Every structure is written in C-alpha cells, then in structure tokens.
Structure 1
Amino acid sequence: MLNARIKLRHLQAFLEVARQRSFARAADRLAITQPGMSKTIRELEEILGASLFERTPQGVALTQAGLTLLRHAGPALRALEEGVGAIGDVDRGTRWLRVGALSTVESRLLPEAIRRWHAEEASRREVGINVVTGPSAFLLSRLRRGELDLVVGRMTEAREIRDLAFEHLYYERLLLVVRAGHPLAGTRELHAAELVDYPWVLPPPQTTLRQQVDSFCVRHALTLPSRLLETLSLPLSCGYTLGSDAVWVAPEEAVREGIAARQLCELSLPLEQQGGSVGLCTNTTLQPSLALEAFCETLREVATGLAAVTR
C-alpha cells in the first residue's frame, strides 16, 4: 500500500530533479523556490528512509534507490496523466502513440511503418503518432519515465537500456560516405590516414553511433580532424556533404537512396562489418495498449521487408 504521507507533489518534484539533474532547474520548471524543492525532496527521502540523489561535479545523480523509484514512479504518474487526458480524448476522439526515433530509422523504417499504419485500418486514423527525435540516452530516459511508449533505432550499445526490454529487428551498418566526384570516391585501396585531410560529419559525443566512430579511430590510430560537424540531423548532414568534400559517417538507411541515385558514394574502407542491432525498446513496467502492440507489429513487418531487400 502506498504510504499516505507521499503526496503527488513529492513525486512530481522527484521526477523533475531526475529529469533536469539539478535542483535549481527543477525548481524553476515547477515554479517553486530552490529551498522549497530541496525541502520537498528531503521530506520524500525521510518518508522512504533512503537517499535518492547524490551530488556530482555535473549536478546531481540518482542513487540506486533513486533509480528504483524512477523506474516505477515515472510510469505511474504518466498512467495517471493519461487517465485524466483520456476523459477529454473521449469527446475529441483522439489518442496518441508517443514514439522515440533514433536517426537510424528516420529515413525508411519509421516513415513507411507510419504510412502503412494509417492506411491499413480506418480505426487507426483516430490514433495519432507523436515522434520525438534525439540521442539514445535522452529517448531511453524518457521511455523509462513513462513519457514515451516506444523507442525505435540502433541502441543496443547504450548503457541506458539496462532494465528496458529490447527486441532485435535487423542489423544496419554505419558507412563512410562522400559526394559523387569527391577526390576519394572510387579509390579501391583507401587508407584510413587519407580521411583526416577532409572535414568529417559524424554523430555527437556520448551517442551510441559515436562509440563506433571512436572504435574505428582507435583501430586505425586516427585522430579526428579539427574540421568537424557533429549532428544527428540527417538533412543537415546530407546537405553539407553534397556541397563539400566532407566525409559523412552515416546510417546505411539514410544514404541508400542517395547512393542509388549516384549523388553519394560509399568509400571502400568499411567503418564496421556487421553493423549494430536496430530494434524496438519498451518499458516493461507499463501495460502496452492495443494500439502500441499493433504498431510494433507493423514495424516488424516493415523491418522484415527492409531486411530482405538488403540481403
């Protein structure tokens, strides 16, 4: 039974501090004073008999007890919000699936799955899909708090996946890609050292894709050039690559059409062999809706078709 001393304000304050990793920022978001925020968290810790946060040079971090509470409190509050929201949705006739999308699925898998989802059954037109993009750490933390129903993409290397459930769909490689006509295009015996003479477009630090780039650099004793564009934006990456001599570290899905149209060229030096596992990540503490289960099945069907094409 829930301790009657624990109030909604305690859990809201706890989740906001966990989200912001700062008492000051959390207090600002909830429009209360910082001393008031500290007092609320202290009350919750006294009720639970456990410390929930510890101070670090970067702000505050969750203790093991804090992580345990986060795993349950986030989905519980989200379920309450959905229950309240559903009352209004009955009149409006709208429901939502909240999907986190990594850059590895933005070009083909997710657009095709959404198109097929909306085309298959008229009843699904009442279910809107809200897509949030960003790095895996950001999306998985939102999934853990119950703010997303699903995260799709390549994320098996992410530390944040921990107690979440991951379902493999297919493997996808990261490629080294340049514009057609680039000085390195068509070079059969390309040496890694030649790459550093050009700008690079690559994922930002602290992302799962960047880990593969760093491993590549270690294997080939490379130091990244100073001319870098770090972004997860596929349109920005593509536009910059097509208009420059940059080397783009790109998900295979994102550049397949450009390579087929001979606008882009894959370099002969492989960044990785098999690639990473692209799949679905869900929060097992949340009861999946029928709409979520149906959308996951649509993603599986589309993924099967994409995997067949690449073989």
Structure 2
Amino acid sequence: MLSPRIKLRHLQAFLEVAKHRSFARAAERLAISQPGVSKTIRELEDILGTELFERGAQGVALSQSGLTFLRHAGPAIRTLEEGISAVGDAHQGARWLRVGALSTVESRLLPTAIRRWQAIQSADRVGVNVVAGRSAFLLSQLRLGELDLVVGRMTEAREIRDLTFEHLYYEPLMLVVRAGHPLAGIEPLAPGRLTDFPWVIPPPQTTLRQQVDSFCVRHSLDLPAQLLETLSLPISHRYTQDGDAIWVAPREAVIDDLEAGRVVELALRLEQQGGSVGLCTNASMEPSLALEGFCEVLREVAAER
C-alpha cells in the first residue's frame, strides 16, 4: 500500500534529480529553489528509510536503493500521465507510442515497421514519437518511463541491466568507402593502410565504438589523426561520398548504396557476425495494446530480412 506520506512532489523531484544528476538542474526544471529540491529529497529518503542518491564532488548518482526505486517510480508517473492524457484525448481516439531509435535501425527496420503498423490500425489517430540518440541516453529514458520502447543494437550496453531485451537479428558493422576510392577492390587489404585516410566512426562511450576499439586492438592500429565522430547517418553518408573517408557503418545504413554501387565494402571485416539488434522494454511498465502490436510488427519486418 502506498504510504500517504509520499506525495507527487516527492516523486517529481526524485525523477528530475535522477534524470539530470543534479539538484540545481532539477530545481530549474521544477521552477523551485535548490534548497527546496534538497528538502523534498530528504523527506522522501526519510519516508523510505534509505538514501536514494550518493553525493560527491562530481554531482549526485543514484544509490542501489535509488536504482530500485527508479524502476518503479518512473513507470508509475508515466502511467499516470498516460491516464490523464487518455481522458483528455478519448474523444479524439488518440494513440501515441514513444520509441527510442539507435542508428542501426533508422534506415530500414524502423521506418518500415512504423508504416506497416499505422496501415493496419483502425480509424483511430495513430502517432509515433521517435527519439534518436545513444543507447545510454535512450535506455535511461526507458527506465524513467519517458519511452515505451528502444530499438537497435544495444546488447553490449551496460545500461540494459534490469530492462528486458529481445533479440531480432544480427547486424554487422562494415568498413565502406565511396566507389572509386583508392582502397576499393584491393584484396587482400593490409590493415595498416586504413590509417592513411580519414575515418567516420561512432562517438566514444557507445556500444558501436567498442567494436571499433576492439578492431584497432586486434590489428595493432592507432586511430588516424583525421576523425569524424558522429551517429548522424546523413552527415556520415555525405562526408564519405565527397571524400576519401572510411566509414564504419551499420549494414542497414548503407545497404541501398551498396546495392546501387555508390559505396563499396573494403576487403577487411570489422566484425564477423555482428551485434544483436533487438527491442528493449521496461518490464515494470504495463504494455499497451498499441505497444504490443507495434512490437509484433517489428518482429515481422525483422524476420523478412
């Protein structure tokens, strides 16, 4: 039974501090003073009989108790917000899904699944809000209840922990260059030649970057001086097409260009099997019929690969 001493303001303050890892930024978001946020968090910790945050010179971090509480508090607030929204939008038949998308599924899987899912809906209005970003950010939003689902390659992500991951298929990273690149068609290709050219690679602290670093270790390579670190597919594509850069790209992102001959895979495998692409959900959140239906469509589209 919920303690009557726990108020909505306690939960809101807790979620904002957990999200921003800062009492000051939480205070800005809540439009109250920083001492007011600190007092509210202390009240909540007194009620629960445990510390929810570990304070340090670099800010605050969730304690183990805080992580446990977050698994339930985030989805609870999200469910309440959905209930309020559902009452307000019932006459319009509105339906929304909030989906986190990693770059590994932005080109084919997710757009195809969204179109197919919307096509099989009834006359109800269907809305899908897609948030792109790094796995650490998207999974934290899923844990907070800010997202209903995260799709992409994330099995190496430490942030999955208590979330539920369902494998769909394996997706390799590839070394690709524009057609006519000096290294195109060279076989066998000595790994050392790669560092003569600029690279386009995922940013640090991403699951994809871990594979790039492992590749460099296996072949005793140092990253070249000219680097473009980005998860943006349009920027990576244009930068690669207009120069001599080597792009470490998810296969899905370049499959159309490979088939059209606009880019070429180098004769040096970065990965053999690739990473597991799948969908991640928060088991503490009650899935809606819309979410269950969308996940089923994702499975169907993935199986057609």
TM-score by length of 2: 0.98
- The equivalent of 1:61 in structure 2 is 61
Aligned pairs (5 A) from 1:150-161: 150-161=149-160
Deviation at 1:120, TM superposition (A): 2.4
- The equivalent of 2:224 in structure 1 is 225
Distance 1:279 1:252 in 2: 15
- The equivalent of 2:295 in structure 1 is 296
Deviation at 1:122, TM superposition (A): 3.2
Paired amino acid for 1:39: K
| Per-residue Cα deviation, 1:74-122 (whole angstroms, up to 9, x for no partner) | 0000000111111111123211011111100000001111111122243
- The equivalent of 2:24 in structure 1 is 24
Secondary structure (helix, strand or coil) at the match of 2:304 reads: helix
Deviation at 1:36, TM superposition (A): 1.1
- The equivalent of 2:179 in structure 1 is 180
Secondary structure (helix, strand or coil) at the match of 1:122 reads: coil
Distance 1:120 1:41 in 2: 46
- The equivalent of 1:309 in structure 2 is none
Aligned pairs (5 A) from 1:1-311: 1-123=1-123, 125-306=124-305
Secondary structure (helix, strand or coil) at the match of 1:100 reads: strand
Distance 2:283 2:264 in 1: 41
2:171/2:277 contact within 8 Å kept: yes
Aligned residues: CA RMSD: 1.0
Aligned-residue sequence identity (percent) comes to 73
Deviation at 1:176, TM superposition (A): 0.5
Distance 1:184 1:54 in 2: 51
TM-score by length of 1: 0.96
Gap regions ≥5 residues in structure 2: none
| Per-residue Cα deviation, 1:265-295 (whole angstroms, up to 9, x for no partner) | 1011100100000111111111111111111
Paired amino acid for 1:110: L
Gap regions ≥5 residues in structure 1: 307-311
2:163/2:281 contact within 8 Å kept: yes
Deviation at 1:192, TM superposition (A): 1.4
Paired amino acid for 1:55: R
Flag the 1:245–1:284 CA change in 2: closer, same or farther, 3 A.
Answer: same
Of 62-71 and 113-122, more deviation after overlay is shown by 113-122
| Per-residue Cα deviation, 1:110-166 (whole angstroms, up to 9, x for no partner) | 11111111222434x522111111010111111111111111111100001011111
Distance 1:198 1:57 in 2: 41
| Per-residue Cα deviation, 1:181-220 (whole angstroms, up to 9, x for no partner) | 1111111111111111111111111111111111111111
Secondary structure (helix, strand or coil) at the match of 1:167 reads: strand
Q: State how many pairs are aligned.
A: 305
Distance 2:13 2:33 in 1: 12
Deviation at 1:297, TM superposition (A): 0.7
| Per-residue Cα deviation, 1:243-286 (whole angstroms, up to 9, x for no partner) | 11111000000000111111111011100100000111111111
Secondary structure (helix, strand or coil) at the match of 1:168 reads: strand
Paired amino acid for 1:225: P
Distance 2:118 2:191 in 1: 45
Secondary structure (helix, strand or coil) at the match of 1:60 reads: strand
